[in-house]
Chain A
């Protein structure tokens, strides 16, 4: 088991390395993209561009530029923006990361609880009235885009009903957990619910399908023949096996969201997270920030994948040997 974890982490590091090279090449070696011209500004003369190119080390060979970039990004951590000269990239990301992490982690707890409960209830009552009701709510939640749902939530909680039942909802923004855990949760509760709606819908539907399949498996018949209660069969046998695909789905979704995919929710609720940072840096074509944000995002996706694989090995003994 330990060997498996180590092997998996080594391969994650290799993937990270490949991503760094790939992202670097996309942004700095793609024909037509000239970082020096970007930095020098719109009407710079060729002489100034050449000077900038030399000053930023952009005239050196690609592998060295890659190494310099990584050195600035990870070791010296002093990579600075090309657009807002002087502003450092790494602090921007480390400031934005806790916001995104708070948003996604809270939402993840909510969507896992709602999604798994909904899926189990629907599967346990398949064919009865409650099953299609839950599945309909699920498909509705999946169909509503986060930016629309977020705006509607804002409209209701900040607008018409703000002075009556939603008086407790604070204006949008972010309060660090270190400052006030209560305010932190209060500011995030609506973003959490908004972000969780989509995933709760997906997870409930996927889990129901998995459970219905599992309940037709031979081992469920064996469990019935053993005289176990229906609840125990559902939870200990069918759910346990159905959770395996849910975990892999969760790892991918969680990693992608931490990596910036929660952008829409962040924008709608004015949360200064990584998604928002990536969005603005892309608009400015601020290459170092994009590079940093993408590396950060990739790091979490790769890490989440590694964690999923390790969790998989715990959940599914058949994986451990491989």
Chain B
């Protein structure tokens, strides 16, 4: 997945390979610009324009969907694969009622009448715990609070019973208590409907609460992939250690949070070797070659050998 820009071709996502099982929640975590959102947008064909080029393969329910004509992808988008976005303030069209917008999606993918779609919109709003849904359905987005709007977005995303829900930082723009409610709601809905969720976030705390499996991304490349347990308890990549260290913990001995030195690199000057090497405390000679993803279920892209990783991680644990 790359963009042509004035400063040269940017590989926004490079060498990412991941799978999402039925009913599973996969978290994608990384700093801003690490290619989390872009990778998901490209799957759905939401990135368009002459400067975008996407290579690779995307299989959904056993079918190749990448590069299919927009007409076919449209039938998939919103129906089988739905999406929730980061900023609920701007993600709804301001001039239509919330119910109208939900009904629009339902009517796009089903043969329901206007009245039936409207009723379904009310039911959906009730399902995402919006109080007084039959009144709320006729209100405009600006009459909803941020958390309510995100609930409405979720109701809309769920309207056609998608088998995959992609949530792009669904809680980033919300305050902490609302965040927890939204995550709870997502988990609850998933349990009830058995759909798969891809959760994009930069918040390790969110990941540790809901994800079954975790993909850690840096500079458009996967750094580490594994189950939540593996990535959080037995992280193997120095970048993951950095992310974990940056989460505030009540039981920490340290007064200050650990930060990863330096800034995320611009995707324009990703080094030929390990992308994280310029910021990595443990870099050595081998890091000038690009590390492959190694491992069986728990994969990581770091040249340190397993024993050394174990030791380094233990040191960090000890220090915190």
Within 8 A of B (CB), among A32-85: none
- Whether the Cβ atoms of A226 and B95 lie closer than 8 Å is no
Bound CA–CA A244/B82 (angstroms): 30
Chain A residues near B44: list those with CB within 8 A.
225
- Whether the Cβ atoms of A222 and B85 lie closer than 8 Å is yes
- Whether the Cβ atoms of A241 and B74 lie closer than 8 Å is no
- Whether the Cβ atoms of B95 and A227 lie closer than 8 Å is no
- Whether the Cβ atoms of B104 and A240 lie closer than 8 Å is no
Residue B76 is within 8 A (CB to CB) of chain A in the complex: yes
Chain B residues near A241: list those with CB within 8 A.
93-95
Interface centre among A218, A227, A240, A315 (most CB of B within 10 A): A227
Of all chain B residues, which has the CB nearest A244?
Answer: B95
With A218-B87, A229-B74 as contacts: A223 and B142 at CB distance below 8 Å: no
Q: How large is the interface on A (under 10, 10 to 19, 20 to 34, 35 or more residues)?
A: 20 to 34
CB distance from A247 to the nearest CB of B (A): 12
Chain B residues near A227: list those with CB within 8 A.
74-79, 105, 108-109
- Whether the Cβ atoms of A237 and B93 lie closer than 8 Å is yes
- Whether the Cβ atoms of A218 and B85 lie closer than 8 Å is yes
Within 8 A of A (CB), among B46-99: 46, 50, 70, 74-79, 82-83, 85, 87, 90-97
With A317-B140, A317-B142 as contacts: A223 and B77 at CB distance below 8 Å: no
- Whether the Cβ atoms of B70 and A230 lie closer than 8 Å is yes
- Whether the Cβ atoms of B108 and A222 lie closer than 8 Å is no
Residue A163 is within 8 A (CB to CB) of chain B in the complex: no
Residue A219 is within 8 A (CB to CB) of chain B in the complex: yes
Bound CA–CA A223/B158 (angstroms): 14
- Whether the Cβ atoms of A221 and B46 lie closer than 8 Å is yes
- Whether the Cβ atoms of B82 and A225 lie closer than 8 Å is yes
Interface centre among A222, A244, A315 (most CB of B within 10 A): A222
Of all chain B residues, which has the CB nearest A223?
Answer: B93
- Whether the Cβ atoms of A318 and B142 lie closer than 8 Å is yes
Report A93-127 CB contacts with B as 1/0, cut-off 8 Å.
Answer: 00000000000000000000000000000000001
CB distance from A217 to the nearest CB of B (A): 7
Count of B interface residues, CB-CB < 8 Å? 30
Residue A140 is within 8 A (CB to CB) of chain B in the complex: no
- Whether the Cβ atoms of B95 and A228 lie closer than 8 Å is no
Bound CA–CA A241/B96 (angstroms): 10
- Whether the Cβ atoms of A315 and B95 lie closer than 8 Å is yes
Chain A residues near B93: list those with CB within 8 A.
219, 222-223, 237, 240-241
Chain A residues near B97: list those with CB within 8 A.
317
CB distance from A11 to the nearest CB of B (A): 24
Of all chain B residues, which has the CB nearest A127?
Answer: B50
Chain A residues near B96: list those with CB within 8 A.
240
CB distance from A280 to the nearest CB of B (A): 46
- Whether the Cβ atoms of B108 and A228 lie closer than 8 Å is yes
Residue A224 is within 8 A (CB to CB) of chain B in the complex: yes
Chain B residues near A230: list those with CB within 8 A.
70
CB distance from B240 to the nearest CB of A (A): 30
CB distance from A21 to the nearest CB of B (A): 38
Report B245-258 CB contacts with A as 1/0, cut-off 8 Å.
Answer: 00000000000000
Chain A residues near B50: list those with CB within 8 A.
127
- Whether the Cβ atoms of A316 and B75 lie closer than 8 Å is no
Of all chain B residues, which has the CB nearest A314?
Answer: B95
Interface centre among B44, B79, B92, B94 (most CB of A within 10 A): B94
CB distance from A49 to the nearest CB of B (A): 62
Chain B residues near A219: list those with CB within 8 A.
90-94
Residue B182 is within 8 A (CB to CB) of chain A in the complex: no
A-B contact pairs, 22 of them (CB 8 A): A127-B50, A218-B90, A218-B91, A219-B91, A219-B93, A219-B94, A221-B46, A222-B83, A222-B153, A225-B77, A225-B83, A226-B78, A226-B108, A226-B156, A227-B74, A227-B75, A227-B76, A227-B77, A228-B104, A316-B95, A317-B142, A318-B94
Q: Which residues of A contact B (CB under 8 A)?
A: 127, 217-219, 221-230, 236-237, 240-241, 244, 315-318
